[in-house]
Amino acid sequence: MTSSGVQAEQLAARFLEAQGLKLLERNYRSRFGEIDLIMRDGDTLVFVEVRLRSRSHFGGAAASVDRRKQERLIATAQQYLAALTTLPRCRFDVVLMSALQGTPPEWLRNAFEA
């Protein structure tokens, strides 16, 4: 991952923590893929994809979380959940980061459903 990608994930984690979420894991990996951030929002487990884009070509950061990416995120989340004794409520969020300085993150709660 590039240093700008790592920085975007750090900024997204801090942004979400300021909104009241608690960081549980960073860069959770399975054979299916990776989840950037796993957080808790009250009693809900939140799987967060962080997208950084320098341009809005091809629909920007939101459009880059296509069906294939969603399927990989869902499979990775299922692997994470398999290790838990009780299944919490879950959701998938996306945090869109712009490379432009001073642009606030855009937080898409419930960006897609499993």
Over the stretch 18-50, which tens digit does the pLDDT of each residue have?
A: 999 999 999 999 999 999 999 999 999 999 999
Name the residue range of residue 69's domain.
3-112
Instruction: Give the tokens for residue 46.
Output: 């939140």
Q: Rounded CA gap, 102 and 98, in Å? A: 9
Amino acid identity for residue 32 in this structure? F
Q: What is the CATH number of the domain that holds 104?
A: 3.40.1350.10
- pLDDT (tens digit, 9 = 90+) per residue, 38-88? 999 999 999 999 998 766 554 555 566 889 999 999 999 999 999 999 999
pTM (two decimals): 0.89
Under 8 Å CB-to-CB from 9, ≥6 apart: which residues? 26, 27, 36, 37, 50
pLDDT band for position 17 (50/70/90)? very high
* Residue 89 predicted with pLDDT over 50: yes
β-strand pairing of 44-53 with 106-112: unpaired
Report the pLDDT value the prediction gives residue 10, as an integer from 0 to 100.
Answer: 93
Report the pLDDT value the prediction gives residue 80, as an integer from 0 to 100.
Answer: 97
* Residue 12 predicted with pLDDT over 90: yes
CA atoms within a 13 Å half-sphere pointing along the CA-CB vector of 110: 2
Report the pLDDT value the prediction gives residue 58, as an integer from 0 to 100.
Answer: 47
Specify the number of domains making up the chain.
1
